[in-house]
Structure 1
Amino acid sequence: MFCYLQRFSVMASKTHRLHQIAETSLPGSLKKARTMTVDSNMKGGFEKYAKYLNDLNDKRERVVKASRDITINSKKVIFQVHRISKYNREEVLEKAEKDLAAVTDQFMSRLVKELHGTDFWKLRRAYSPGVQEYVEAATLCEFCTTGTLLKLAEINTRLLPLSDPSLEPLQINILDYFLGLADLTGELMRLAIGRISDGELEYAETICKFVRDIYRELTLVVPHMDENSEMKKKMEIMLQSVVKIENGIVLPQSHSSTIQYAER
């Protein structure tokens, strides 16, 4: 027991001496914490960049809102076109054209103004859905009115008056145009089925040929696009639209042939 206490006393005295050494040497050995001095120019650069990001986020929110309004009102144009029949064709298309002009003047113009003076390609994902819906509505009206395809250059020409001549104009890019055409084929399929129900087989056949031509042309282009392109996901849906129209046309004709054969 005595040996243990003696050994403990020696250890305690050594510990006490270590503490004394540490207390006398520690203050002199400690180094001052390093502080990073920020150059005023660098600080100003950081502040400008932070402001740029905040402004860009605010603009993105406004662009998303404008795109949403374009989508909603372009859908109204499409719904108006679907009211078409052989009895009200001119009336329905006239109303649809007026509604489309209102979408251009009120909502597309707001989008163009929001994107003025910016690298608008950076915000493409924010406004792309609205632009695609606008392309879909515009091309649907054009086909029902003239029976032809509204080209990308023609759409962009319509948008030019909305832009400030001193700034780079907003132009719809080829991908958003193709995506709009892909959605157009679905609307034309619904239109064709409606015309078949009303007995307008000839008009349905015209729609079928038009949709088939769009699909054939895009099959030559889409394989060369990026593997993750949205277009590749829509090609199968486009093909389904073509098949549905073709089946819709064939069935009434085969039914009519059966009736004629039975009457004989």
Structure 2
Amino acid sequence: MFCLRGCSRLVCSSSLMATKPHRLHQIVAGATLQGASKKPRTLMVDSAMQDGFSKYAEYLNELNDKRERIVKASRDVTINSKKVIFQVHRISRGNKEEVLANAENDLANVTKQYMSKLVKELQGTDFWKLRRAYTFGVQEYVEAATLCNFCKTGTLLNLSEINASLLPLSDPSIEPLQINVLDYILGIADLTGELMRLAIGRISDGEVEYAKKICSFVRDIYRELTLLVPIMEDNADMKKKMETMLQSVVKIENACYSVHVRGSEYIPLLGTNDPDFSLFGAADFEP
């Protein structure tokens, strides 16, 4: 009995092993035939939608090309505006009028040759969409223009005056490019750093009163911006520049304070032409 039961179990197991591959083959073959009978799914798109996709693709390509041209024009504005700023820093007691005249001519060339390219690309469009492509060039241009104006008149060039100078570059029939308030304020924040360097240079050249005037001007700008920046929406960049602006104010104040307190220790250059000048504060000793 035991042997028959064991044999029957072996026969059943061998029959299962024999039929199992056959059943798997049938399943796989059936699945293959069933998959081959299915047709691939395709997205049915009408002609109007295809035209819309093609127009949108053309718009994106044109926008990318425009962005590349604007970035290049903004880079040219930045480089040449920096040259104007370097020109202003060459001011001394004897060449102020000449240096300012050269700086104004250079600024006019920047406006005609490089800012005109930005105006041409951005006029009549939603230029706020491409602001990140040209904001740094505009900030540098504002910095150069306001620095020249301060050295000439002692006042701040406002936003409406800058935008008015750009109007002749635009087509009257198209909406002109207008510098927005944020870019103007960011440029003014950079202006304080250049004024700090100018004040230190004027102190070293003996123009202490002019340095004090710069100190008062920069302090007024910082005070006004401390009231404006907290209520600005996009003020992440301004928060960083406010810290740098405060450092500039402190440096100018310290320099003016040191000259005011220790002014009696100031010794003019030995090459003075004053016949009454004495190095030790007394008449020259004659043996």
TM > 0.5: yes
Match of 1:153 in 2: 160
Identity of aligned residues (%): 70
From 241, 255, 260, give the equivalent of 1:253.
Answer: 260
Separation in structure 1 between the aligned mates of residue 131 and residue 200 of structure 2, nearest angstrom: 34
Q: Aligned partner of 1:34: which letter?
A: R
The within-5 A match list for 1:11-50 is 11-13=17-19, 15-17=21-23, 19-20=25-26, 23=29, 27=33, 30-50=37-57
1:100 to 102, 107, 124: 107
Does the 8 Å contact 2:229/2:235 carry over to 1? no
Q: Which has the larger radius of gyration?
A: 2
Instruction: Name 1:8's counterpart in structure 2.
Output: 14
> How far did residue 31 of structure 1 move?
3.3
Deviation at 1:253, TM superposition (A): 2.0
How large is the RMSD of aligned CA atoms in angstroms? 2.4
Counterpart position of 2:276? none
Letter aligned with residue 139 of structure 2? Q
Aligned to 1:191: 198
Change over 3 Å in CA distance of 1:22–1:65 after alignment to 2: closer
Counterpart contact for 2:124–2:176, Cα < 8 Å: no
Deviations 1:117-160 (A, max 9, x none): 42111100000000000000000000000111100000000001
CA distance in 2, matches of 1:78, 1:228: 26
Structure 1 pair 84–20 and aligned structure 2 pair: CA distance change class (3 A) = closer
Distance 2:173 2:72 in 1: 25
Counterpart residue type for residue 131 of structure 1: V
Counterpart for residue 170 of structure 1: 177
C-alpha separation in 1, matches of 2:92 and 2:237: 33
Q: Which has the higher helix share?
A: 1
* Structure 1 stretches of at least 4 aligned residues deviating more than 6 Å after TM superposition: none
Counterpart pick for 1:90 among 66, 91, 97: 97
Counterparts of 2:208 and 2:266 in 1: how far apart (Å)? 17
For structure 1, the residue ranges without an aligned partner over 5 or more in a row are: none
Partner residue, 1:220 = 227
Count of residues paired in the alignment: 263
SS at match of 2:224: helix
Distance 1:259 1:143 in 2: 28
SS at match of 1:165: coil
Aligned residue for 2:116?
109
- Structure 2 CA distance for partners of 1:74 and 1:13, relative to 1, 3 Å: same
- Report the counterpart of residue 236 of structure 1 in structure 2: 243
Instruction: Kindly state the Cα deviation for residue 39 of structure 1 after the two structures are TM-superposed.
Output: 1.3
**Aligned letter for 2:81?**
S
TM-score (norm 1): 0.92
Which AA in structure 1 matches 2:219? R
1:115 to partner: Cα distance: 1.4
Measure the CA separation in 1 of the matches of 2:170 and 2:62: 21
- Partner of residue 61 from structure 2, selected from 34, 54, 62: 54
Q: Which runs of 5+ in 2 are unaligned?
A: 1-5, 268-279, 283-287
